[in-house]
Amino acid sequence: MDIKTHEIDNHKIAEISAEEVLIAKLEDALDITGTLYYDGYDRVILYQKNLTPAFFDLKTKIAGDILQKFTQYQMSITIVGNFESYDSQSLADFITESNKGRQVNFVSSLSQALR
């Protein structure tokens, strides 16, 4: 796991990347949020490929459980990826609603995530 730090408008942002899935279950999210919170980050950027595919199947409820942990740590999360490949209206609606707020966002590029 590689963590790159970005500092924008007094926010310490962790860009996390790896070649493998980093968050496959709730405990993985707890480990990452705890570490980032302790290190002073208040925002995190994750890549779609670093989340279990089950995250994007809303019936599993994994997305809600994981995102709740980031919320509990008061840490905004942006997920970068191509979400159009999923054939799920409920996921599309979830992404649209999430993107209306500031806590959880889904974008297609790092430059969008950093804005």
pLDDT, position 53 = 96
Q: Which residues of the chain have pLDDT under 70?
A: none
How many domains would you assign to the chain?
Answer: 1
pLDDT, position 26 = 95
pLDDT, position 6 = 98
Q: In sequence order, what DSSP letters do the residues of 39-94 get, joined into one string?
A: TT--EEEEEGGGB-GGGG-GGG-HHHHHHHHHHHTT-EEEEES-GGG---HHHHHH
In a domain, 70, yes or no: yes
- pLDDT tens readout for residues 45-61: 999 999 999 999 999 99
Question: Domain range for residue 67?
Answer: 29-81
In a domain, 114, yes or no: no
In a domain, 60, yes or no: yes
